[in-house]
Structures are given as structure tokens and as C-alpha cells.
Amino acid sequence: MPEEIALPGLVSLEHSFAVPLDHRDPDGPRISVFARELADPDGRNRPFLVYLQGGPGFESPRPTRQPSSPGWLDRALRDFRVLMLDQRGTGRSSPIGTLAGLSPQQQADYLSHFRADSIVLDAEWIRDELGVERWSVLGQSFGGFCVTTYLSLAPDSLREALITGGLPALRGDIDDVYRCTYRRVLERNRRYAARYPADVARIVGLRERLEREDVRLPAGDRLTWRRFRQVGAALGMSDGAERLHYLIELPPESPGFLHDAEGSVGFARNPLYAVLHEASWADGGRTRWSAQRVLPDQFRSSSLLTGEHVYPWMFEDYGALTPFREAAEVLAEREWPHLYDPGTLAANAVPVAAAVYAEDMYVERSFSEQTAAQIRGSKTWITNEYEHNGLRVDGERILGHLLDLARGRA
């Protein structure tokens, strides 16, 4: 039975489900998937909205009220009960540790079950256990990849599908994905330099220092230049340039700088992100360290910052990732099955509405538009009002508008 918890102004039911590690083998090993059900006190019989978080490898946000967090929660609870999944391997859902005692091949085989297809089948398992005929889904970023997979694998289970910043490329070449994201990152570097011109010299000086000195982070890892430049991943968020500036303005030898530099990326807390990031894009085929292979020449000898890219050297520079180094190599050469079914999407009958951010640094607009055109009946809201974190920044408006689109009111 779920545990009921009273949050301010909310009723919360905490569920834990034992699901197959491999849904093709329902009698095989099980893992646990946690889901938090939220409702207004008078809304406990409303239909379900399932929230699928970005990532891969990040759990759902932890809700609060007064003020509400996440920001879209109040709007959602007017129409729904909300089910927030900690996707497998995250949060309270059999979190990935170091997988000690397994060979690299065994680690890779285990980790291969943590992509969008398995997440969708978890949701279907949970839907069946809860006795729900159909429900609505909301996917942010990688959660949108999961929603698109849901529309391919089990569309009859969906009342409506909502996506923010997360329409993936279908049957595309992963190298094309990363070529596009690098172009976006180059533009964000240019904008950052124009906004904070003094930071350019600071970054160059920091690079020289990191290449000359053995600078250690609080956890003991060496802060290499190639590791530091990954702070550029923040530049695709609405507050990313400011957060980066406030880091770079700190003296590099200060505890504040070292602490913030270490915490600027979440690989230690959520290693699954680094292990499966490229695989999450793979609609078939092998990834073979795509971001490393297509790295533009502009980045190779410059002080430009990189973006949301994963490289093989990270499994050396980040102590938290070294236990997965050999498994990551195995996964890079793995032949991945397709995540999406173009035929099913072309015959789609589920109301679909997607917010596509015109200058999204992480999910390329052109691919999102191509995919939307292949999902029958889908409606897109293409906007330059928001960055990739729009749902977090203005969730009330964005969710409301997507519901209006899906329901034919806009």
C-alpha cells in the first residue's frame, strides 16, 4: 500500500513498484520504481497526468507548496492528479551505484535497460497496477523523448501527450544531432563574450592556469581545462550566462570557486546521465562517441566552452565516472534498437501538443519540427520567448497553453 503524506495544501501518496529489469523477461530480475502521486485535497479522483523528467538519469522534482514547485504544478492540479516518476536508476528507483562486482560487459548489459523504451514500459506496468485505463503525459526535454516513445509503443494508453523542449530526431544520424548542437554552442559562446567581455580574458587565464598547475577540487579530482569548459552547458538556460559569470568572477584559488566548479555539472550525483546521454539520442545504430568525433576545429585549440556533450575522457577526469569507463566503451559500440515507430506516429490519434524553443541549445529546433510533422495531428508552439528551461521558469503559462492546444482551445 502507498504511504500517504500530508504536504502543505497537497495530498501525497508514495508508491513503489517492483518491475522487471528487462520487460522482455517479466519473470527475471526486478528493480524498484518510485512514483509520487500528488493531488489537491478535493482532487483525488481527477484523471492522472504522468510527469516524465529530463535527463537521462535525473529523478523527478521534489514538490513543495507556497510557493509551488515545480512551477507548473498548480496548473496541473486544477485538472489532474499528478504522478511524478523517478525514472529507473534515479532518486528512489533502484538508483545506479558503481555496479561493483560486475564485469564491464555485465555493467553495459545492465545499463542498456535504462533508456526511454524501458521507462515507458515501466509506466505501462504502473498504469496496469493502478488500474488506470488511460492517462495524460507531460515530458520535459528527455522526458519528451520518452513521450514520443510512448506514442510509438502504447498510444492506446494515452489521453493526451504534452512535450516541452523534447521532440527528438527520428531515424536520424546522431552525428548530425551533435553538429547542430555545436553550432548552437558556438553562438552561445559569442553571446556570452558580448555580454561579459571581461570574462573572456578570465577564461583564457584560467585555462592557462589549469594546464600549468594541479588544481584539486574538494572531492579530490583534478580540475582539468577540458573538464572546466563543460560549464558551458549552462548557457542554454535562461539564467545560464549569469550563473556562469558569477562562477568565473570568483578567484580560482578560492573555496567558493572550487566548490561551485565541482557542483556545476551533476555527473557525480547522477552518473547515469553521462553513461547513457548519447544512447538516449540513438534511434537505432551505434553512437561511437559522436560528440568527440564531430568536435569542431574551433574547440580543439581555443578557450571556447563546450555544451551538453559527453566525451570518453570524462571517465578518467571524473572520479565518480571511472567505475563505468570500460562499460561506457562497450555501450558506445552497442547496436541500439529503434525507439520510435514512424508508422505508428503517422497514424497517431492521440492529441499531441509540443512547445519547441526556437533557439534551444540542447534539442535542435529543426529536428523537432521534422518530427512534429511526422506525428499525425500534433500541434507545435514554436516560441523564442523561452530557453530550454521554460517549463521551470513559466510553467503555469506553458502547461496551460499546451493543454489548450491539445484540447482544441487554441
CATH number of residue 140's parent domain: 3.40.50.1820
The reply to whether 108 falls in a domain is: no
Q: How many domains are contained in the chain?
A: 2
Handedness of CA 313, 316, 318, 322 (dihedral sign): positive
Q: Say yes or no: 325 and 225 in one domain.
A: yes
The C-alpha atoms of residue 312 and residue 325 are separated, in whole angstroms, by 8
Residue 211 has what pLDDT? 96
Looking at residue 69, what is its pLDDT?
81
25 with 145, same domain? yes
User: Is residue 301 domain-shared with residue 185, that is, in the same domain?
Assistant: yes
Same-domain status, 317 and 347: no
Nearest-angstrom CA–CA distance, 142 and 69: 20
Query: Does 42 share its domain with 75?
Result: yes
Determine, yes or no, domain membership for 70: yes
106 falls within a domain = no
In a domain? residue 103: no
274 lies in a domain? yes
Residues 163, 242 within the same domain: no
- 187 with 214, same domain? yes
Domain boundary among 312, 332, 352: 332
The predicted-structure confidence for 53-80, as pLDDT tens digits, reads as follows 999 999 999 988 767 788 899 999 999 9
Domain limit, last residue, from 332, 359, 381 = 332
- pLDDT at position 66 is 66
Confidence (pLDDT) at 370: 97
Within a domain: 58: yes
Q: Structure pTM?
A: 0.96
Q: What is the domain extent for residue 25? A: 3-98+114-171+339-406
Question: Which residues of the chain, if any, have pLDDT below 50?
Answer: none
Q: Is the same domain home to 269 and 357? A: no
Task: Say if 53 falls within a structural domain.
Answer: yes
**Whether residues 178 and 51 fall in one domain:** no
Both 256 and 293 in one domain: the answer is yes
Answer yes or no: do 208 and 186 share one domain: yes
Within a domain: residue 16? yes
- Are 39 and 183 in the same domain? no
